[in-house]
């Protein structure tokens, strides 16, 4: 009977090998795709129970894990919830946004840069702690921006972004309305669901980070780009005369609908100084300039500043600012004053101001300054990098002169700071819909001779009578407060 016994032995061997191969398939080859399954609560619960790293502004955490005595070991807490929610995002049992999502690998400890820490934790049988993320945010600037925007009357929808022009560091990023991420990080999952449903249903979209996720017509603040294209074309310098006049009939049009005016500001006749045109935000001038340089040069200039591209890598998702690629002459004229289909995020407009402040070099904006281990050892420091040379240094200095004039003798005067030269530009963009109020914009940088900060303020809506909405009055003081917070630091 030994022959069949040997056959049976081979059969048994076959069965065991099949079991082992299958287990290996399941636990090795298929493990990653199983872990990635959104229904896999183990991965989420583990992340939820784990001591996640902190998100730091200066020395203070704006998101941290504190011990919890319920069924999860740690509770995610946001000490300054409303002011930083658009940046941190939230970390809930069901989903994550903001830095909690984009920096999840570091915060959860899975990032390869944390390998050594992870290994030490493993060998010493300690629970795996996540690494921390140090932000480029300046707490004072963030506070000034938030308080300033929040102080506007009514239910404010708007955003403020401040950049360090020479490095691209994001110094402040505020978006209103905001929300309390603590409520979404709660371990009371029913409450989390209710809060989330309520926030999602809210028409003012509090979960949106308007600084990077909303694009709106930039209006007159886009004249910086038009002026840059005009000066780069070689036809003008800051001291030259530019086309002026009370009205400008767009090419290819006739009558009221194609007629651009200056809403009563003094834009002279025929030829006026460039400084006056900028200071008075002359629509007629910039519509004409846009047509003089032509659609292609305008597209090229806008894209050099970052339009039509993605550049923010450490905080996602980012909405793409748009400059239309197919335009006729009339549309080019409208685009020159930031209307038609031009749309920009507040971050994009801050980058335009920052590039002018930084001798024409556009820096890649970033918000994560350092990745740290759980013990706060610096594992990686972000190096600043150039995105492009949008304009020459000479053009940048010409534009700066124009913008200084705009603050000193023009529409941007509310941003003036005693003893410091400020360069700035207002904007009031038509929403294009009759029932939606215009959007107020303000971009500026200071000090003009050695810029330390560039700011963009965008107010989508606030409880202000339609006729009184003007970028200068609403956005100017906020930009001023943010710039002061950085310069007086």
What amino acid positions are annotated as catalytic residues?
220
Q: Which is nearer to another protein, 49 or 452 (CB)?
A: 49
Q: How far is the CB of 12 from another protein (least distance, A)?
A: 5
> In the 8-state DSSP scheme, what is residue 208?
S
Q: How far is the CB of 196 from another protein (least distance, A)?
A: 19
**Which range, of 4-12, 164-172, 295-303, 402-410, touches another protein by CB under 8 A?**
4-12
Choose which of 3, 67, 257, 467 interacts with another protein (CB under 8 A). 3
Q: How far is the CB of 50 from another protein (least distance, A)?
A: 10
Q: Is 276 helix (H, G, I), strand (E, B) or coil?
A: helix
The Cα-based distances of 469 to 200, 332, 344, 461, 479 in angstroms read 28, 25, 19, 9, 16
Please tell me whether residue 271 binds another protein under the rule CB under 8 A: no
Q: How far is the CB of 56 from another protein (least distance, A)?
A: 28
DSSP string, 396-456: HHHHHHHHHHHHHHSTTGGG-BTTB--EEEEEEE--SSTTSPPEEEEEEEE-TTS--EEEE
Q: Which is nearer to another protein, 18 or 252 (CB)?
A: 18
Q: Which is nearer to another protein, 9 or 385 (CB)?
A: 9
> In the 8-state DSSP scheme, what is residue 131?
P
The Cα-based distances of 121 to 124, 132, 139 in angstroms read 5, 16, 33
Please tell me whether residue 436 binds another protein under the rule CB under 8 A: no
Choose which of 15, 119, 151, 436 interacts with another protein (CB under 8 A). 15
Please tell me whether residue 189 binds another protein under the rule CB under 8 A: no
* Rounded-to-integer distance, Cα 434 and Cα 85, Å: 32
At residue 425, φ and ψ (nearest 5 deg) are: -155, 135
**Which range, of 32-40, 227-235, 403-411, 423-431, touches another protein by CB under 8 A?**
32-40
Query: What residues contact residue 469 under an 8 Å CB cut-off, 6+ apart?
Result: 428, 437, 438, 440, 459
The Cα-based distances of 211 to 98, 154, 170, 327, 384 in angstroms read 12, 20, 11, 27, 20
Q: Which is nearer to another protein, 27 or 385 (CB)?
A: 27
H/E run at residue 146: helix 139-150
Q: Which is nearer to another protein, 125 or 269 (CB)?
A: 125
**Which range, of 14-22, 195-203, 294-302, 442-450, touches another protein by CB under 8 A?**
14-22
Please tell me whether residue 1 binds another protein under the rule CB under 8 A: yes
Using an 8 Å Cβ cutoff, are 93 and 68 in contact? no
- Rounded to the nearest 10 degrees, what angle do helices 329-336 and 283-293 cross at? 130
**Which range, of 38-46, 138-146, 320-328, 345-353, touches another protein by CB under 8 A?**
38-46
How many residues touch another protein under the rule CB under 8 A: the total is 37
Choose which of 27, 204, 247, 409 interacts with another protein (CB under 8 A). 27
Please tell me whether residue 259 binds another protein under the rule CB under 8 A: no
Residues 70-129 that bind another protein (CB under 8 A): 125
Q: Which is nearer to another protein, 31 or 235 (CB)?
A: 31
Choose which of 42, 198, 271, 381 interacts with another protein (CB under 8 A). 42
Q: How far is the CB of 73 from another protein (least distance, A)?
A: 11
Please tell me whether residue 420 binds another protein under the rule CB under 8 A: no
* Rounded-to-integer distance, Cα 373 and Cα 370, Å: 10
Q: Which is nearer to another protein, 27 or 325 (CB)?
A: 27
SS3 for 51-86 is: CCCCEEECCEEEEEEEECCCCCCEEEECCCHHHHHH
Q: Which of 290, 320, 299, 355 is nearest to 212 (CA)?
A: 320
Please tell me whether residue 23 binds another protein under the rule CB under 8 A: yes
Please tell me whether residue 35 binds another protein under the rule CB under 8 A: yes
**Sign of the four-CA dihedral 394, 395, 396, 400:** positive
Query: Under the rule (CB under 8 A), what is the footprint of another protein?
Result: 1-9, 12-13, 15-16, 18-20, 22-24, 26-28, 30-35, 37, 39-43, 45-46, 125
């Amino acid at each position: 009977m030994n022959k069949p016994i040997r056959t049976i032995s081979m059969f048994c061997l076959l069965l065991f090998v099949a079991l082992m191969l299958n287990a290996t398939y399941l636990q090795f080859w298929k493990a990653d795709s199983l872990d990635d399954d959104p229904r896999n609560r183990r991965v989420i619960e583990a992340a939820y129970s784990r001591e996640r790293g902190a998100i730091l502004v200066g020395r203070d955490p704006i998101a941290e894990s504190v011990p919890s005595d319920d069924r999860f070991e740690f509770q995610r807490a946001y000490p300054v919830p409303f002011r930083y929610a658009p940046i941190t995002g939230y970390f809930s049992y069901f989903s994550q946004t903001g830095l909690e999502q984009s920096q999840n690998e570091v915060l959860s400890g899975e990032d390869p840069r944390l390998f050594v820490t992870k290994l030490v934790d493993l060998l010493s049988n300690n629970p795996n702690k996540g690494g921390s993320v140090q932000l480029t945010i300046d707490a004072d600037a963030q506070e000034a921006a938030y308080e300033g925007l929040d102080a506007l009357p009514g239910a404010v929808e708007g955003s403020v972004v401040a950049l360090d022009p020479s490095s691209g560091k994001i110094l402040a990023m505020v978006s209103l309305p905001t929300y309390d991420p603590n409520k979404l990080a709660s371990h009371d999952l029913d409450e989390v669901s209710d809060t989330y449903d309520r926030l999602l249903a809210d028409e003012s979209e509090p979960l949106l980070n308007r600084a990077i996720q909303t694009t709106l017509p930039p209006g007159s603040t886009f004249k910086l780009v038009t002026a840059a294209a005009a000066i780069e074309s070689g036809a003008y310098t800051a001291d030259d005369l530019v086309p002026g006049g009370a009205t400008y009939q767009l090419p290819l049009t006739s009558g009221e609908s194609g007629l651009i005016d200056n809403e009563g500001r003094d834009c002279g006749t025929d030829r006026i100084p460039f400084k006056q045109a900028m200071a008075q935000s002359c629509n007629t001038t910039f519509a004409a300039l846009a047509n003089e340089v032509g659609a292609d040069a305008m597209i090229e200039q806008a894209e050099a500043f970052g339009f039509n591209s993605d550049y923010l890598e450490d905080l996602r998702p980012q909405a793409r600012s748009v400059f239309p690629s197919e335009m006729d002459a009339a549309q080019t004229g409208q685009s020159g004053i930031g209307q038609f289909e031009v749309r920009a995020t507040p971050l994009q407009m801050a980058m335009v101001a920052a590039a002018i402040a930084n001798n024409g070099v556009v820096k890649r904006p970033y918000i994560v300054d350092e990745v740290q281990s759980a013990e706060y050892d610096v594992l990686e420091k972000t190096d600043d990098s150039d995105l492009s040379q949008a304009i020459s240094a000479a053009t940048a200095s010409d534009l700066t002169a124009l913008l200084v004039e705009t603050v000193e003798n023009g529409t941007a005067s509310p941003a003036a700071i005693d003893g410091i030269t400020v360069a700035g530009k207002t904007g009031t963009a038509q929403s294009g819909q009759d029932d939606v109020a215009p959007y107020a914009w303000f971009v500026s940088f200071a000090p003009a001779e050695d810029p330390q900060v560039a700011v963009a303020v965008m107010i989508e809506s606030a409880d202000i009578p339609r006729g009184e909405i003007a970028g200068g009055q609403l956005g100017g003081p906020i930009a001023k407060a943010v710039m002061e917070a950085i310069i007086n630091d």
